[in-house]
Amino acid sequence: MVREPRSDALLNTRAVDDLRFIRQTMERSAAFTAVPGWGMLAVGASAIPAAWLASHYAFNLRWIEIWICEAVLAVSLSIVAVQSKAVKRGLPWSSGPGRKVALSFLPPVATAALLTIPLLRANLGAVLPGMWMLLYGVGVISGGSFSVPAVPVMGVAFLATGATALFFPGLGNWAMVAGFGGLHILFGVWIARRYGG
């Protein structure tokens, strides 16, 4: 029995559609495993000199400038580390799970950046460390829900550190080094050892 060319084309189209559906389903359910433990360690280490420099200023413009420079450095280190780990593992870092992590992480962090301006205008600079860490923690928890289990746990630790900084504003710079320095180092080592780099 000879098949009609039309039914072969239909079957081929159906197979391609089925494979596309399977791939999309697998991407949706996959975890983002290119979280770079050693990269997080580098981010944490970069926060230590920033905290030392910032400790010479009391929540003024120079203090803000130091931490903004540190944030730019930390983001740059993170992007390079994620790309490097993704390439080593043969994963597209802009894959479905990677995109979900980024899209979940960015809104709280963008909100923190936006709130910085009115808080500074209202002379509430002492609130910034707590607010930054709380919203960063929310972003880490949200993005971490698509990643390895250690990431949302780190987000909860940032929430605790941020809450402490809000209730004890005099500890703001120490909370910054404990959070952005210490937590990144601690969880970076954990992720590097447990999840491979």
pTM: 0.81
Structural domain boundaries enclosing 176: 32-195
Looking at the structure, do residues 95 and 182 belong to the same domain, yes or no?
yes
Token pair in block for residue 53: 């420099």
pLDDT over 70 (residue 24): no
The angle at the Cα of 125, spanning 123 to 131, to the nearest 5 degrees, equals: 130
Between these two residues, 11 and 195, which has the higher pLDDT value? 195
Q: List the single range of 3-7, 98-102, 125-129 with lowest mean pLDDT.
A: 3-7
Q: Which residues contact 117 (CB under 8 A, 6 or more apart)?
A: none
Q: Please, what sign has the CA dihedral across residues 30, 196, 156, 72? A: negative
Looking at the structure, do residues 88 and 155 belong to the same domain, yes or no?
yes
Amino acid occupying residue 196:
G
Q: How many CB atoms lie within 10 A of CB 148?
A: 18
Looking at the structure, do residues 163 and 179 belong to the same domain, yes or no?
yes
Q: What band does 21 get if pLDDT is binned at 50, 70 and 90?
A: low
pLDDT over 80 (residue 103): yes
Average pLDDT rounded to a whole number, residues 100-109: 89
Kindly report the average pLDDT of the chain as a whole number: 85
Q: With H, G, I as helix, E, B as strand and everything else as coil, classify residue 140.
A: helix
Looking at the structure, do residues 161 and 73 belong to the same domain, yes or no?
yes
User: What is the pLDDT at residue 118?
Assistant: 96
